[in-house]
Structure 1
Amino acid sequence: MYDIALISQESQQENKEAYLENHKKFSEQSSLKTDYLSSDCHQQKNQQWMHKSSSLTQIYPSLDDNLTCISQTSSVISVKEPKIPIETNKKIKKRKNHAHRNLKTAVSRKQIEMKCQTEKRPEKSTGQLLHYLHEKDVKIPIPSIETIIQQEALLSEQILSYSNYQYYMHNLIGYLMGSLKDSFMAQMYINHFSQLYSNLQKSKLIVCPQQYSFSIKIQPQKKIQKTLIIDLDETLVHCNEFSCLKSDFFIPLVYGDKSFQVGISIRPHAQQFLRNMAKVYEIIVFTASNPDYANKIIDYLDPEQNLVSYRLFRDDCIQISNNCHIKDLRILNRNMQDIVLVDNSAYSFAFQIDNGIPIIPYLDNKNDKELLHLENYLHYVNQFDDVRSQNNKMFNLKIVQNCISIAEAIKCLAASISK
């Protein structure tokens, strides 16, 4: 009985020790697994945060850099930088010093080469050196404000004088010599110049009357400025004789017992031209047409009636024949040196050729730019005390009038323009 009991106690003691040992091993393994799982979970979280931060910068590249840096560093803040071994650190420092030494040698070689080049240059003599030192001591004069203003005024005058040569005579010679190429405009200029030459020749036979009277329609000037007299038909507008041509507007006309709708085509830039010129000139429309016809057109061009100061019509002209109406500028009661007359017919300024500015007639060319060129010239001539002297230099109408042929006139014009 005793042996059996003793054996049973020993077996129970062994089982208990085995159980404790197994429990200890199990606890150790479980602790290892939890550590491993926790570290793995932490790495997965870090990867997720890094992926989120990188995707955020891709979607919003304009975000502040500080915000993206905070999101990245906060996810890996527990990660420590790896320590570099001492031997590796020494190798890195050695390579840096070697690169720096090579840079120094390269710079020093470059300096030596530059020094050799400078030594090969011929030495300056004592006189040259003294002259050089004397030049260094010379003070460069600074231009005054008055000088700068004068230079700017001369420059602007040169620019204006260059732009005004784009008008009429320059274009005529350009089309004749082939420097300007536009078959339609070339034909227009050649036809008009032949008519201009013919009218100027006939004007020599017209005697200017000694007596004249001021027009009661024109009042004394309230503001001192130059006067721009401009024609209406074929200069600012064209009356379409054929209904097939396109018109900008229509006006009613009564002839006898019948009424007609007449189409009017406005020259390109006409209204812009009047607006710009009204700022610097006193504008008077002087036409050889009847008032009933002309007033409707002027009202369309100047609906508020603040651009055109006065209107003169056929009864204000001097009629020589059915097709010849002269516009005597003396009736305006203005200083003749302040008047310019723009007209497609040279008969109009037969009495005052120096005041005349020719213009080719307008038919139906929507690419016409004559008024733009004319505007440049009028701005240019407005700055002179006497517009007639500049007209003589620009158009040479008296020279054309005294030539015995068109060929001679063109030759004289080409010579004057080349100067």
Structure 2
Amino acid sequence: MTIAEPRTDPSAAETPPRPTRGRFRPGGTVREDRYALVGAAAASLALVWILFTRLLPFSGALGFAVCWYAAFLVLYALVVTHEHGRLAAVDRLVSVLVHSAGALSVTVIAAILGFTVLRGAQAFAHSNFLTQTMSDTGALDPLTSGGVLHAVVGSLIQLGIGVAIAVPLGIATALFLVEVGGRLTRPVRLIVDTMSALPSVLAGLFVLAAFILTFGFQKSGLAAALAIAIMMVPIVTRASEVVLRLVPGGLREAAYALGAGQWQVVWRVVLPTARSGLATGVVLAMARGVGETAPVLLTAGFARGMNADPFSGNMTNLPLYIYTYVKFPQPDMVSRAFGAALVLALVVLVLFTVARLLGGAAPGQMTRRARRRLAKADRAAAKTPTAPSGDLPLTSDKETSA
């Protein structure tokens, strides 16, 4: 008896084995990926250099950079697709685009700050720049005369008044939208969204038409602060609303279960929990308000000397100082303007740092002060003597006889 041999497909035997690709891990990089990245960048640079200088009638640094980046993306996608497949190519391209966007943002900010520091260092080199005003300084005077003191004082006064108006109003509006609600929720949110999209010059025109031209008030720091507050209110409201909605509902329910009223829940639970987020929203509004030029240009007026009274007289702030003196043809005046721009950047940095310190930890986390207070309470509780369970407290003989 013979056993039949199994039939084999000749076409299957002749099929070559499929090539194995490298291991792919989404979101991660290996050494081969770095080699492919560097090789694609070098090859695309050489290719675009040849095209720009030899073959095509193109010129310009910006066009060269754009063409080099596009060629780099194409070559890098081809290399990764050949090594790891299409899925890995898409993952690597998205990663390259995200990192490129971050690097471009940092580069632009660094270039702006570096240019401002470079142009404003000449004014900062003289100590009088931060201690004098421009009341006795002309356009032809050297940098050893005049300064930016009155503009710094004006900015701080106007920003302080704007914050005092906008922050309570914005947080109260956000609390109404989140905690109260009702029929007025949609109209209020629509007004806030509309105010967020309005150009800043309209705030200055509103204050100019409503207060200065209609009621006869003069241009002053208070009028400029009102315009700044109008620009800050929608920012504080939107940021505060988002932060208040992130407060866990379980905290509110626990407070209501303990017998707290709505105002007590808001004051003792919701606002402390969202304190860091609220501080961040206030910082965003302050950064927007301290750098506004158009509303201040229409409402504050320009003064060369010191004026610390926001209710009367023109009051200059830093953006108005920069806008006025950067248009002068004298190099020293332009240097003063860039020096004021550097002071404005430092003021924003200081305000941001102070707000972060006041804001404390993130929602749901304990601050350092709270952790120290809790540790102190634990140590005090550990030192307090306690009576053994089941035994009567120790008393003296007199207390026993009594």
For this structure pair, what is the TM-score category when the shorter chain's length is used for normalisation?
Answer: under 0.3
Q: Which has the higher strand share?
A: 1
Report which of the two has the higher share of helix: 2
The TM-score with structure 1 as length reference comes to 0.21
Q: Which has the larger radius of gyration?
A: 1
TM-score where L is the length of structure 2: 0.22
